[in-house]
A and B are shown apart, each in its own frame.
Chain A
Amino acid sequence: MENMVAQDERMAEYLEVADEVAAKYAGRRGSVIPVLQQVQERVGYLPPEVMKRIGERLGVPPAQIFGVASFYAQFRMAPVGKYVVKVCHGTACHVQGAGAITDALCDELGVADGATTEDGKFTVESVACLGCCSLAPVIMIEDNTYGRLTPDEARKIVREYGD
């Protein structure tokens, strides 16, 4: 029961974020994507209720909001871990052994690629290119990029975040 109250409270908070961000963009053309980006930045993902609210506030049909959100890889429909470990699988990283980095990280954290650890701490995610190709293979956690990695070094890095 208490849990549900907490959930409702959290959702109320999310909706407030949606209201606040949408208000900044009211009446401006082409604002769906920036609003979704900023809301996700603060909420962590885009629950259906929140997308519906954004649609109402911007005067855009919810179907269109869902359509946009589902088109772009950046938008998430489910919550993610505290740290999202982005493993680059761009061309340069691929030829320099990105596969082994993902394998090592998934093994270290005990999750599948794309999944979140049970404690909600880490999500392992494959991304296309982090733009540091000459330091391949590369991973990024929050705004920190780590390059020239070996599988062991990648393990060490996530261990540091885990502590």
Chain B
Amino acid sequence: MAKTGATVEVTVGLSSCGIAAGAADVFSAFQREFKEKGVDARLRRTGCVGMCYREPIVDVVTSGGAKYTYGELTADRVGRVVEEHVVGGKPVDEWLVRAEGRELPDETYYDQQVRLVLRNAGVIDPESIDEYIDAGGYEALTKVIKEMSPDDVIEELKASGLRGRGGAGFPTGIKWDLAKKAPGEMKYVIVNADEGDPGAFMDRSILEGDPHSVLEGLAIAAYTIGAQEGYFYVRAEYPLAIKRLRIAIEDATERGFVGENILGSGFSFKVHIKEGAGAFVCGEETALIASIEGQRGMPRLRPPYPAVKGLWAKPTNNNNVETYANIPWIISNGAAAYAAYGTESSKGTKVFALAGKITRGGLVEVPMGLTIRQVIDEVGGGVPEGRSFKAVQLGGPSGGCVPVEFMDIPIDYESITKTGAIMGSGGMVVMDDSTCMVDIARFFLHFTQDESCGKCTFCRVGTKRMLEILERITAGEGREGDIELLEELGEKIISSSLCGLGQSAPNPVLTTIKYFRDEYEAHINEKRCPALSCKALITYDIDPDKCIGCTVCAKKCPVGAITGERKEAHTIDQDLCTKCDACRQACKFDAVTVR
């Protein structure tokens, strides 16, 4: 927010990731300091600016309007920032991560980013409708209601090239058109905020950082297709997102942006929140609808598509959180401005959640068409020093692992699909040479096998058989022919499952076999895990030349497997060792070896 008054403004990033890193304590510390010292400064709250690797993050905006960003600003550091910077006017240089006019390393984090969806995240107070409105919020809804017909909106969306951000990339304008044309008095709109990909947090951050943008997009959808009611289907694991969404709906209702007779137009629209109950398959739209109806979340065959027969058998439009958050921007700025970003087939921007073995893990938004390498290396800072990049997992349990050979492909729906992975909803989990690809395949199969709703035999039993084979391989009991068996089962599951869960569940296995077959073979034929990660295939030893007998490892070992006299080389009892890695981490002399 631009500063107008004369006081200094301190803004603390209070999103789930910030709070996990201690931001709530930081906020109270500022409150306390201001009160105790009688400091005349304004304390604000905001969502996630995306630099999760720097949490807790605090912005200090001086009375002159200059903005300084502090990273890893824990509560114990607050006193000094208040004294020296807020009161004294002199920034605490060593904790600064961004500041106008200075060349700090984190500046490059934003160089490639274009923040349309995340336009307000980390800027405004997500619990203040006034700040949203000041930032141009609800202008798009007003414009749509006052100046545009539903068909105008649909034409605008079609021209923008926006495609669904929930994974499949279906063109949003066409989807809305289908729901609008579907005959029926009663219609519904749904926000899919189930965010099932275990390793992704785009939707959480958007809802926590800028809930009104999604609500505004939803209201525009309701007006366009002619819906009277809307549902947010939110993962139960996201309590803060739900809380902020509740506040947003209440405030927007009070101001007349949702509810009865919106902006005096005669159009009324009511919004509900439904909390998910922990089933991954409920992210699939027909299962999600069954879940809102209070049933077991089982997918059903499409067609009929929800656009024709959805919630309570009425025409229903369902989109992802990020898809909706794009809408107000497109309406306000025009389809052409949106389509100016991206590639021929994939327009606009995409939000990615960077995590795993990456230096700058966080939430980023980049124009489509950037290469995977640019996102991982230039934005994310690459894998941490001393390690080498192996693969990036895109699309979660439905996606695949993209190896280093494909790092230079552009981010667009078609190019990513060609690798065997999918764009997915935006999770990017980076893996380095210490990550075992067979274990990753096992991890995802464990997940999908657990989450299969059981309706289709191939999905239910097939994933179980695949998991058993993968467990066997990682346990050092792989047999010849296992790889071929996995491939065969995978193809059968894909072709004979009803919903996207089964149709994509084998992808993580098939892509790792495709690109990392040698790792599978090492496990099966040589009983060796090249990444030194599978416990059954590695041994811990102590190098007698390096061990000085400090006894630290013996004290750390939770199972008492390490013995030795003080000042003499220690040894590990292989029968007792659980390979927990505690000794290796504790040893200051690199004496613990893993083979």
Contacts and interface: CB of A to CB of B under 8 A. Distances in A.
A91 B236 contact: no
B274 A132 contact: no
B79 to A, nearest CB: 23
B293 interface: yes
B294 A133 contact: no
Given A32-B294, A131-B237, A92 B355 contact: yes
B355 A130 contact: no
Given A29-B312, A91-B443, A75 B277 contact: yes
Contacts of B21: 135, 147-148
A26 B20 CA distance: 38
Interface string A32-72: 11101100000000000000000000000000000110011
A100 to B, nearest CB: 6
Contacts of A7: none
A138 B355 CA distance: 12
A73 interface: yes
B581 A100 contact: yes
A131 B20 CA distance: 11
A129 B199 contact: yes
B429 A135 contact: no
B376 to A, nearest CB: 14
A103 interface: yes
A95 B436 CA distance: 9
A92 B429 contact: yes
Nearest to A38: B275
A130 B204 CA distance: 10
Interface string A3-38: 000000000000000000000000001111110110
Most B Cβ at <10 Å: residue of A30, A91, A145: A91
Contacts, number: 147
Nearest to B439: A94
Contacts of B588: none
Contact of A94 (B296, B312, B427, B443): B443
A45 B93 CA distance: 51
B236 A74 contact: yes
B540 to A, nearest CB: 13
Interface string B51-64: 01101000000000
A107 interface: yes
B357 interface: yes
Given A29-B293, A131-B238, A138 B20 contact: yes
A95 B357 contact: yes
Nearest to B281: A71
B291 A147 contact: no
A132 B297 contact: no
Contact of B291 (A33, A107, A151): A33
Contact of B353 (A127, A128, A134, A143): A134
A147 B23 CA distance: 12
Contact of A95 (B200, B356, B453): B356
B201 interface: yes
Interface string B391-411: 001001000000000000000
B580 A100 contact: yes
B237 A91 contact: no
Contact of B274 (A33, A75, A89, A145): A33
A130 B19 CA distance: 13
Nearest to A143: B239
A83 interface: no
B293 A135 contact: no
Contacts of B297: 71-72
Contacts of A103: 578, 580
Contact of B17 (A68, A72, A143, A147): A147
Contacts of A34: 274-275
Contacts of B17: 131-132, 134-135, 147
A148 to B, nearest CB: 7
Interface string B204-217: 10000000000000
A145 B16 contact: yes
Nearest to A32: B294
A130 to B, nearest CB: 6
Contacts of B444: 91
Contacts of A116: none
A129 B355 CA distance: 12
A91 B356 contact: yes
Contacts of A127: 237
Contacts of A95: 356-357, 429, 431, 435, 440
A123 interface: no
B198 interface: yes
Contacts of B199: 90-93, 129, 133
Interface string A82-98: 00000001111111100
B581 A37 contact: no
A157 B260 CA distance: 49
Contacts of A138: 20
Contacts of B440: 94-95
Given A33-B277, A90-B198, A131-B204, 14 more contacts: A92-B199, A92-B355, A95-B435, A104-B558, A128-B196, A131-B17, A131-B235, A133-B355, A133-B361, A134-B52, A134-B201, A138-B20, A147-B17, A151-B582
7 contacts: A71-B453, A72-B278, A89-B198, A92-B356, A128-B447, A132-B17, A134-B201
